[in-house]
Amino acid sequence: GAGVSQSPRYKVAKRGQDVALRCDPISGHVSLFWYQQALGQGPEFLTYFQNEAQLDKSGLPSDRFFAERPEGSVSTLKIQRTQQEDSAVYLCASSLTRGSSYNSPLHFGNGTRLTVT
């Protein structure tokens, strides 16, 4: 498969647990984005990587959220001490070049649906 792959597809966590969500972007894609999508809402930006550098993390809602992309390919979004308001679909997207420029469309994964009980 040449698309963006996310795992797990579904995750149920008890409040207070830590979770780790994985994103495998398309091989060679420079840019990687994480988005959070609450039920019935459009996705909201969380953070952006250009290769291994996290250039923008302004969308992370709290210091319980942490993302990394240590080798510039696979990325992990970690949420510590999960809360019920963290329940959402977490989407990953990648693009070939920097940002979401006109000549470089975004390719989305299917998302991870996180439910915190």
Partner 1 sequence: KNEVEQSPQNLTAQEGEFITINCSYSVGISALHWLQQHPGGGIVSLFMLSSGKKKHGRLIATINIQEKHSSLHITASHPRDSAVYICAASYSGGGADGLTFGKGTHLIIQP
The verdict on 109 binding partner 1 (CB under 8 A) reads yes
Q: For residues 102 and 115, is the Cβ–Cβ distance under 8 A? A: no
In the bound state with partner 1, the residue whose beta carbon lies nearer, of 81 and 101, is 101
**Interface stretch with partner 1, choices 11-19, 20-28, 56-64, 69-77 (CB under 8 A):** 56-64
* Binds partner 1 by CB under 8 A, chosen from 5, 17, 87, 110: 110
Compute CA 100 distance to the chain's CA centroid, rounded to the nearest angstrom.
15
- Binding-site size for partner 1 (CB under 8 A) equals 31
**CA torsion, ordered 113, 50, 24, 15, to nearest 10 deg:** -30
